[in-house]
C-alpha cells in the first residue's frame, strides 16, 4: 500500500508571484498572453490574478505523477524568468515584498487519490499526516527555508488583513484559507460534520468506510448520491471513459514560494504514508480563522 500510494496520487500546484513593468505597474497582460496559448495551458495550466497589486498565480493542470508535476514546475519557473527578461519586467518570487504590506506568495500543492483502495479514510489519514509534519522542525525548514519565509506566516497583521495565509496547525474545508491544509470539495459534494466524530471513532475501531462526504456526482453515469447513502467512496476511478477526476483535492498551503518543490513533495508523501500506516484521523475541521485565540491552536510560526 505504501509503495503504491504515489502511484494512486494525482497532484497539481499553485505558484504565486509578482510581476511589474518599468513603471512599477502590474503587468496584467501576462494573463491574456499565456492563457490564449493552447500550448501554454496544455503544458502548464492557467495564470490567474491574485489578491496583491501585481500578484498572479499559475494554477497548474493535474498531473498523474509527482515527477511530472515537479518537472512542470521547474519548466514554468524557467519560462517565467525568460518571459520577464524578454519584456524587461520586474519579477518577484520571494514570499514577501520588501515593503511587507502586500499579500505573501506561496507554493501550494494539491493531492487527490484514485483507485479501488481509495476511500474517505485514506483522505483523512493524508490530512493527518500533512498536519503532523508541521510539528517537526526538519519539515518546517523545508516548507519555510528562511526567516523571511517564516514572516509570511508569523506576521499576523498580514494574516488577519487578507485571510488567505495559513496560521495554525489545523485543517478546514473549501472556504477556509487560514488553515494549513484545506479539503477543497467540488460542487455537489458536502462534508457531514455531524457524523465526523462518530465516523472518526469507527475508524479507530477498524471500520474502513468513513462515509463523510455526500452528494458526490460521478460524471460517467451522471448519478448523484444523496445523504441517505451510508458508505460512499470519495475517490472515483480514473479508468472511466471520460477520465473522471476525484471530486476533491487536499491542498497543502504552508510552503513558501521559494521552497524546494522536490523537498516539499517528498516530505508530504512521507507524511501521508505515516498517516496511512498509523491509520490516524485528524481532529475536526476548523471553520473560523485559525489565528483566533478562541481555538487555542498551535501556531505554525
The average pLDDT across 4-16 equals: 86
Cα–Cα nearest to 250, from 235, 229, 267: 235
pLDDT at residue 27 in the model: 97
The average pLDDT across 129-134 equals: 97
pLDDT at residue 265 in the model: 97
Per-domain residue ranges of the chain: 5-295
pLDDT at residue 99 in the model: 63
Q: What is the pLDDT of residues 179-235, one digit of tens each?
A: 999 998 877 677 767 666 666 766 666 555 555 554 333 333 332 323 233 233 333
Distance between CA 24 and CA 38 in Å, rounded? 29
pLDDT at residue 295 in the model: 86
Per the prediction, the chain carries an average pLDDT of 82
Asked whether residue 85 carries a pLDDT value surpassing 90, the answer given is: yes
- Whole-angstrom CA distances from 44 to 36, 71, 171 are 13, 10, 28
What is the secondary structure of 175-217 as a DSSP string? T-TTEEEEEEE-TT-EE-STTHHHHHHHHHTT------EE--E
What is the secondary structure of 54-105 as a DSSP string? TEEEEEEPPBSSHHHHHHHHHHHHHHHHHHHHHTT-EEE-SSS-TT--S---
Distance between CA 168 and CA 289 in Å, rounded? 9
pLDDT at residue 23 in the model: 94
For domain 5-295, the CATH architecture is: 2-Layer Sandwich (3.30)
Residues forming a β-bridge with 18: 55, 92
pLDDT at residue 229 in the model: 32
Q: What is the pLDDT of residues 149-172, one digit of tens each?
A: 888 888 778 778 888 889 899 999
DSSP 144: S
Side-chain half-sphere exposure of 222, counting CA atoms within 13 A = 0
Amino acid at each position: 500500500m505504501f509503495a503504491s500510494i504515489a502511484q494512486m496520487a494525482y497532484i497539481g500546484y499553485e505558484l504565486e508571484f509578482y510581476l511589474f513593468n518599468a513603471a512599477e505597474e502590474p503587468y496584467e497582460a501576462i494573463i491574456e498572453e499565456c492563457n490564449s496559448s493552447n500550448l501554454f495551458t496544455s503544458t502548464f495550466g492557467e495564470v490567474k490574478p491574485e489578491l496583491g497589486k501585481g500578484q498572479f498565480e499559475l494554477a497548474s493542470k493535474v498531473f498523474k505523477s509527482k515527477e511530472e508535476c515537479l518537472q512542470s514546475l521547474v519548466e514554468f519557473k524557467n519560462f517565467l524568468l525568460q518571459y520577464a527578461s524578454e519584456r524587461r519586467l520586474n519579477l518577484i518570487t520571494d514570499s514577501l515584498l520588501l515593503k511587507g504590506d502586500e499579500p505573501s506568495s506561496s507554493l501550494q500543492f494539491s493531492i487527490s487519490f484514485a483507485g479501488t483502495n481509495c476511500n474517505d479514510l485514506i483522505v483523512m489519514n493524508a490530512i493527518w499526516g500533512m498536519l503532523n509534519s508541521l510539528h517537526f522542525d526538519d519539515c518546517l525548514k523545508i516548507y519555510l527555508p528562511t526567516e523571511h519565509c517564516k514572516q509570511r506566516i508569523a506576521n499576523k497583521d498580514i494574516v488577519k488583513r487578507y485571510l488567505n495565509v495559513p496560521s495554525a496547525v489545523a485543517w478546514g474545508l473549501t472556504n477556509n484559507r487560514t488553515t494549513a491544509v484545506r479539503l477543497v470539495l467540488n460542487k455537489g459534494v458536502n462534508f457531514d460534520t455531524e457524523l465526523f466524530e462518530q465516523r472518526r471513532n469507527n475508524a479507530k475501531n477498524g471500520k474502513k468506510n468513513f462515509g463523510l462526504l455526500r452528494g458526490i456526482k460521478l460524471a460517467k453515469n451522471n448519478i448523484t448520491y444523496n445523504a441517505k447513502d451510508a458508505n460512499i467512496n470519495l475517490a472515483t476511478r480514473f479508468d472511466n471513459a471520460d477520465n473522471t477526476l476525484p471530486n476533491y483535492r487536499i491542498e497543502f498551503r504552508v510552503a513558501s514560494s521559494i521552497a524546494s518543490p522536490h523537498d516539499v513533495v517528498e516530505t508530504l508523501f512521507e507524511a501521508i504514508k505515516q498517516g496511512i500506516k498509523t491509520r490516524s484521523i485528524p481532529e475536526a475541521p476548523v471553520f473560523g480563522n485559525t489565528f483566533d485565540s478562541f481555538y487555542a491552536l498551535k501556531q505554525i510560526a
